[in-house]
Amino acid sequence: MSVRTDFATVEVPNDSHVQKNENNMEREKKRLLNYLRQERKRGGDEEFGRRIKTIRKLSQFSHGQSNPTYKLLVEMTDGTLKSYVLRKKPGGNILSSAHAVEREFQVQLALKRKHPNFPVPRMILLCEDSSILGTPFYIMDFVQGTIYLQPKLPVITREERKTRIYENMAKTLGALHSFDIRELGLTSFGNISSGSYSRRTLKRWFGQYEKSITNKLVETPEKEVVMKLVAWLDANCPKDGEEVSDRIIHGDYRLDNLIYDERSDDVLAVLDWELSTVGCPHADVAYNCLPYYLPPGLEFYPSFGDSNQVPAGVPTEKQYCNIWAQHARLPNICGSSKWKFYVALSMFRGMAILAGVRARAVAGNASSRNARQAGSLVEVFAKRAYVVVVQGGASKVPRQEIKGGYEPSEKCMMLLEKLRAFMSEHVYDAEEVFERHATTNERWSVHPLMEELKKKAKAKGLWNLWLPLDSAALIKIANARGNDEALYKGPGLTNLEYAHLAREMGKVPWASEIFNCSAPDTGNMEVLLRYGTKEQQERWLLPLLMGDIRSCFAMTEPAVASSDATNIESSIAKSTNGTQYVVNGRKWWTSGACDPRCAIAIFMGKTKTTGPQHEQQSMVLVPMLNNHKVKVVRPLLVFGYDDAPHGHAEVIFDNVVVDVKESLLAREGAGFAIAQGRLGPGRLHHCMRLVGMAERSLDVTYARVKSRVAFGKPLSENSNVLNVLGNCRVEVDGARLLTLYAAHVLDQLGIKDSRARSAVAACKISAPNVACSVIDRCIQLFGGEGVSQDSPLARLYAGARTLRIADGPDEVHLETVAKIDLRRSKL
């Protein structure tokens, strides 16, 4: 077996191997030969021993820290020389359940039998009789190929080869995680009935760690940080049912445990199955990704280093996990808070293994001459794991923060962490799917993935997050659907708490709908909550709260300046018998009217044309589905975007007849007041999302300027670029704080208070302007890609620019702020 190093290709074994003295080795070879020649079946190949004439050589591989592994060179009865691999438990006192060569043999034998193309060596036999070689052992085929020890692949010069090597590593692990343990006959291979995999893993390896430090000669400088790390892992451990835990996992899957074909870069064999079990595949791939996290200079666990700048050709962590996820048929959670947990758990497990190596080195029964050096890494792993969890931002990690008064509450923080994880696992990857769908002939249909993600969001409790704290009491629904009550009532957040969540959702234009937090539905549901009758709520509000239907808000008209709602010309006329309304009007920018799920419109028109200007308007409910009196004329484009399947429609209401009792909201003449009440929180929701849009633009631009080189250096080192980004950050933080302040004031005073109206108006001026300006500058730094469909910036800009007009243009809100301020100055 050839091993690639940084310097040369060397044959293994060689003179550097740990060799037993010749007399002992000869005795062991004789005992082994006699055992192999016995004529009884022993697992994989019952004829193996009969074909052996003599054992020429038994020499130990130097690579590896756990189970001693030997190259077995035998002369066959036909005169040919063949190589095999013998792997055994180490001698001396070892930890219980550790070094289980029997399990290694069992899992590889099952994989080879059921999936012959999966790259594991052919198993020859298993010997559990310790009298032969001192400990149990097994023999398998020797696989000729190349092992790469360094993740940076310095010996590979062609980028495309580096890419293939990592792609094949990810595909192989993904294939393993896709196998059914029942088909493999390995249902009893792991203890899957005793709680979550992560909980079992933490308990087991903490126990192993404690046993490894019982020897008083073992120094434990890492112990204090280990205790802190264990406390964090215990507090953040997934509960039963919260993780996939029924797949075969390798347990030590990394580059130097793979044998490659040097010509094709295919994986020929996966080695070292000592830690394999039935468990969580996300934990397995997280361990595989440790080179992205570990510091540089670790001889036994080489990494990409602190800079996390992978060499050209090597995929980023997220790209690597995407390849794995496709072949495992599992979600990619890379970057989420759950992912940070699995990375930290993997480091903790690695630390516990190294602590065992250290203990064996002190006791004098380690399998490698380098065991003491490997044991010295225990403290490095423990501290690095704790750094990962602290920097991961999990809510239960104690950390020093500057309190500004608007930070998330504990309740909000728990939801925020869950939301971030969901966005990372599902939403960002779905963005490309929805963008592609929006360019097809089927774009006016709802992509199945949207409904699938909505179900997942419901299951996670990430539903109706927008619903104001005081609104649950306003729900008059009688025939509620049992366990759904927690969903349709939402978590009960303040406006300030919701602001933190809305900012996160705003980073992806499609995200809010997934959590039932998108306009105009939120505003319409607010209206139905505050002004709807019990019957109206049961018919329309409940399905909206459950995400079964969608709605639209028909107020703006093309013939008048609708920023002044008293200009509305549409009519709501009573029939002669007084029991029905006849609705007429041409509306536009009726967002959501194109959606095939749009079942109801809230229509604003005049029930009278005389009297006080602000009491002439009313609002009625108009059914949309199969209503031939309602004609959706066309979707209006926003810088070329039609926002399918949602759309912003021009709609004609032509003598639409509705029942007065069933359709009227509040009372006649209350339309203007309802609109103002609806628009207050709605404006604030837009501002929250706009801050998220600006922050997403900065996030993608930061990555862009780090990777793009112009005039001999990365854009991130150009002082002009840094000045632009610095100004963007200052402006975004200002808009964010102004929005949080407005949410806080709204919570304290309500929208009718002039101070709350002024604060909401101020952030409605600031947030869209800042978002437009920041996204525009990010586009400039991106170059041509920034205005194309290959980045999210163009769509984000179109949305931000629209919101400078929607819910009242800047000029209206500036006037509001000035008028309220002038009134205060007279007091």
10-residue mean pLDDT series, the chain (827 residues): 30 36 72 78 62 87 72 90 91 63 93 95 91 91 92 89 96 96 85 72 89 82 86 86 89 94 95 91 95 76 69 89 94 87 92 85 64 70 83 39 66 83 85 91 95 92 86 69 71 90 93 95 92 94 94 95 89 93 97 96 96 94 96 94 94 97 95 81 85 94 87 89 95 94 88 87 93 96 90 93 87 89 79
Q: Which pLDDT score is estimated for 695? A: 94
Burial of 479 (0-12, 13-18, 19+ CB in 10 A): exposed
Question: Within its chain, how far is the Cα of 153 from the centroid?
Answer: 28
Q: Which pLDDT score is estimated for 193? A: 54
Planar angle of CA 501, 421, 318, nearest 5 degrees: 130
User: Is the pTM here over 0.85, yes or no?
Assistant: no
Q: Is 685 helix (H, G, I), strand (E, B) or coil?
A: helix
Q: Which pLDDT score is estimated for 642? A: 93
Q: Is 493 helix (H, G, I), strand (E, B) or coil?
A: strand
Which tokens is 95 given?
A: 């930890």
Compute the CA torsion angle 245, 246, 247, 253 (nearest 10 deg): 30
Q: How far apart are CA 631 and CA 634, in angstroms?
A: 9
Q: Is 462 helix (H, G, I), strand (E, B) or coil?
A: coil
Q: For 638, which DSSP code?
A: B
Q: Which pLDDT score is estimated for 13? A: 34
Q: Which pLDDT score is estimated for 521? A: 95
Q: Which pLDDT score is estimated for 564? A: 85
Class of CATH domain 676-826: mainly alpha
Assess contact for 130 and 154: CB atoms under 8 A.
Answer: no
Q: How far apart are CA 407 and CA 413, in angstroms?
A: 9
Domains in the chain: boundaries: 2-146, 676-826
Assess contact for 217 and 362: CB atoms under 8 A.
Answer: yes
Assess contact for 196 and 234: CB atoms under 8 A.
Answer: no
Dump strand ranges (E) for 1-122.
2-4, 9-11, 52-60, 69-76, 81-88
Give helix then strand counts, H and E, for the chain: 27, 21
Q: For 538, which DSSP code?
A: I
Q: Which pLDDT score is estimated for 826? A: 67
Q: Which pLDDT score is estimated for 247? A: 92
Which tokens is 663 given?
A: 């359709």
- What is 2-146's CATH topology? Phosphorylase Kinase; domain 1 (3.30.200)
